[in-house]
Amino acid sequence: MVHSAWQEPEPVLLDLDGAPVPQYGSGSLADLLPTLAAGQGVPGLTATITELTPADRNCVFLIDGLGWEQIKAHPDEAPYLTSLLGSSRGGTGRPLTAGFPATTATSLASVGTGLPPARHGLPGYAARNPATGELMNQLRWRPWTPPAVWQPYPTVFRMAHEAGVATAQVSSPDFAQTPLTKVALSGGTFHGRITGEERMDLAAELLGAGDRSLVYTYYSELDGAGHRQGVDSDAWRGQLMYVDRLVQRLAEQLPARSALYVTADHGMVDIPFDEESRYDFDEDWELSAGVALLGGEGRARHVYAVPGAEADVLTVWREVLGDRFWVASREEALALGWFGAPGECDERVLGRIGDVIAAARDDVAIIASRTEVNESALTGMHGSMTPAEQFVPLLEVRT
């Protein structure tokens, strides 16, 4: 009898050109506020989302973790939001791309500055500070870094305020003095309110207080439920039902000559708790070899190599992960437009971006069970360029 040896076929590496790159300059979160403020006559800004009609009074309601795909999948829990996906109620709905990585710190900076990550310089959940060599958590701002040094550009809110637009932010009191608020959302007046209903009511009141007004309000608890229990949980669906009522409450109070825009900072996917879905960097000698720092988060990793090991780390990460992750060098990611248009990366930002970038395509994540205990225990995650994470709503209601 003749036996033939069978070998499992080599995995096919993902084509980097096939990664769904954010639509910077025409349909990303960074384009929203410049478009609205330009329509209000704020100098120095350009309306790049061309289908939006200018309004004297603009309100942006950003719901943390509310992806476009998640709204479409839950019409029963979100009837009002679902009605805004089309062209009913005097508005229109379309998806925007969050930007890469699709994570809160990066997206809020993109919203507030009107700039892509390659310019504002918050390129992920955790990024290396080239001045110190340490990882800097850009959501919690640890270790502390001077905000104006880390992100020196003026916010759109500040530009609008200086141009005479009545500008305000309505959010949790906890965010009043955070460095992330200062670098991304400062300008005009900040109003802290505890409940979602209080925020909606005050946002509508402030919107009508000026002849030209720009108001921002925010809700974070949907994201928290998704991280803890997953977007396929009753807790998450309950939060979505509450968010749906908040949006309707705000929409029904809009003053004349107003436009409300409902958007988000990212979507989310649930990651199974098994070894095939969660690669543990802290227990994997191949992935950790030659790596000085592991940044980013589970689905969008910045990998900082030991000097001289950059090429070897890239090769190994592609061999281990390349059929489930888009794995690129810093130079490749920048040339492909992951962090902004090719060629527009600020010099101060280059060293914050990993030598190697790994962005998940499948429902997988790279955890670090010993060094990132809390993050590794999350059910829902985000960060990459898949539609479930990258597409966020742009839902419009006008009066």
Write the pLDDT tens digit of every residue in 143-195: 999 999 999 999 999 999 999 999 999 999 999 999 999 999 999 999 999 99
Residue 7 domain flag: no
CA distances from 160 to 50, 67, 215, 217, 250 (A): 19, 28, 11, 16, 22
Residue 238 domain flag: yes
193, 119: one domain: yes
How many other CB atoms are found less than 10 A from the CB of residue 224? Answer: 15
229, 107: one domain: yes
- Alpha helix segments (H runs only) across the chain: 32-39, 68-73, 79-83, 104-113, 117-120, 147-150, 156-162, 179-184, 196-209, 221-229, 234-251, 285-288, 310-321, 330-336, 347-350, 373-376, 387-390
CATH code of the domain containing 393: 3.40.720.10
Task: Give SS3 for 5.
Answer: coil
Work out whether strand 365-367 and strand 278-280 pair parallel, antiparallel, or are unpaired.
parallel
176, 80: one domain: yes
97, 47: one domain: yes
Instruction: Give the model's pLDDT for residue 11.
Output: 75
Q: Can you tell me the mean pLDDT for 109-132? A: 98
List the Cα angle 45/50/55 in 5-degree steps: 70
pLDDT of 33 above 70:
yes
Q: Which amino acid is at 279?
A: Y
pLDDT of 4 above 50:
no
Domain coverage including residue 296: 278-381
CATH code of the domain containing 349: 3.30.1360.180
Residue 100 domain flag: yes
Residues forming beta bridges with residue 160, ordered by sequence position: none
Residue 4 domain flag: no
231, 337: one domain: no
286, 337: one domain: yes
The packing angle between helices 234-251 and 196-209, to 10°, is 20
229, 94: one domain: yes
40, 121: one domain: yes
Side-chain half-sphere exposure of 222, counting CA atoms within 13 A: 29
65, 171: one domain: yes
Contacts of 319 (CB under 8 A, 6+ apart): none
Residue 9 domain flag: no
Write the pLDDT tens digit of every residue in 74-113: 999 999 999 999 754 444 699 999 999 999 999 999 999 9
Q: CA 66: distance to chain centroid?
A: 10
